[in-house]
Amino acid sequence: MQPLKLNRIQDFRLPMAVLGAALTPEADLLVTGCMDGVYLSDMQSGESRRVAERSSYVSGVAWLLNSQQFVSAGYDGKLHWFDRVTESISREQQVHQFWSWDMALSPDQRMIASVTGQYLAGGYRYEPQPEREPSVVLLDAQTGTRLFELPHVPSVQAVCFSSDSHYVAAGNLMGEVRIWDCHTGELQANWNTEDFTSWGIIKSHSYLGGIFAMRFTPNGEQLILAGMGPMRDPMAGNGKQLWQKWNWRAEEPNKAAEINKGEAGEGLMEALAIHPTRPVFAMGGRLRGGDWNVALFHLDTGERLTTLKTGYRVTGIEFTDDGNRMLVTGTQGQPKPNKEGQWEPFGRVELYEIITG
């Protein structure tokens, strides 16, 4: 495969940290879920405005109905449907009693999956208590009707659909993955990889980490997981930058590949994206040690193709539908008031052109 390069062509800031983002198919408009609500941004000018205020952090957003509507999920456990024509919330639904950690829209735009769960110590080794509410909820994307309530072990921090919208996968704090059939609600696969979780023995006795992002490969045969390797001191955040690829359809799911030795630094990886036309995927997150916090990898060989050192925490990555550009979003530093007493913008939006050769 020819070498790839990333050339930044757009860069602007938002008032608050970006936790979720989604481009329209034309890549002309961006919706972002931030700490204080939902923003719409013109990708040409970078002009942005808040269109929906939320009482809590917005963890995920997705476009619906040919970009005439979007849905957002938040730490208040609610989903909001927003109509661009009327510029108002058309539906509000309490889906969880605790946070919505992550939300995903099925590729056919018929289903929404939202995941939740509070980590509470349940035993001598602080293993999680059983869930107090369904950890994975599958809803009709248009009506909000609950299709399935699926069990997992809290907290469940990542969710995704297969490209044919037939399966939904969710991963938790303990490195456990469960995959269900979206049409029947039946469990199809279940396994655990302890490489993504840490048991604190310094400063804190607790579990930290887990799976923070996941994506099915285009053929649906494998699942890519992202997070951070285990640490003796989970509070330090210095675990290995980590992805793994799993053969989930096998009788016993097995690990097919993981990040190559010598290509990983330290830091929590929170974002994954699969290129629409090339055998390439992107992973990004926070940098604790090393020289990159965003990288492109070959989907088949696992080879690292190119890297970025953004200088900020990356919470989202998305390729445009034509595959020529890559969106990177996140947050830089902590908010500080300026001389006028206003918060300095600390949400980040960057657009990169993907160059071959």
CA–CA gap between residue 90 and residue 87 (Å, rounded): 9
Nearest one of 272, 139, 158, 294 to 217, comparing CA atoms: 272
Q: pLDDT at position 234, please?
A: 66
Q: pLDDT at position 352, please?
A: 98
Provide the 8-state DSSP code for 340. T
Phi/psi of residue 184, nearest 5 degrees: -115, -20
CA–CA gap between residue 230 and residue 209 (Å, rounded): 8
182, 71, 42, 335: CA torsion to nearest 10: -110
Nearest one of 162, 161, 129, 295 to 226, comparing CA atoms: 295
CA–CA gap between residue 244 and residue 280 (Å, rounded): 14
CA–CA gap between residue 174 and residue 247 (Å, rounded): 19
Q: pLDDT at position 333, please?
A: 85
CA–CA gap between residue 227 and residue 274 (Å, rounded): 16
Q: Domains of the chain (ranges plus CATH)?
A: 17-328 (2.130.10.10)
What tokens appear for 216 in the block? 């099915």
Q: pLDDT at position 339, please?
A: 73
Q: pLDDT at position 232, please?
A: 77
What tokens appear for 260 in the block? 């190559």
- Please report, in tens digits, the pLDDT of each residue of the chain (357 residues total): 778 999 999 999 999 999 999 999 999 999 999 999 999 999 999 999 999 998 899 999 999 988 899 999 999 999 999 999 899 999 999 999 999 999 999 999 999 999 999 999 998 888 999 999 999 999 999 999 999 999 999 999 999 999 999 999 999 999 999 999 999 999 999 999 999 998 877 667 788 899 999 999 999 999 999 999 998 776 778 899 999 999 999 999 999 999 999 999 999 999 999 999 999 999 999 999 999 999 999 999 999 999 999 999 999 999 999 999 999 999 998 777 777 767 789 999 999 999 987
The 3-state secondary structure of 24-85, one letter per residue:
CCCCCEEEEEECCEEEEEECCCCCEEEEEECCCCEEEEEEECCCCEEEEEECCCEEEEEECC
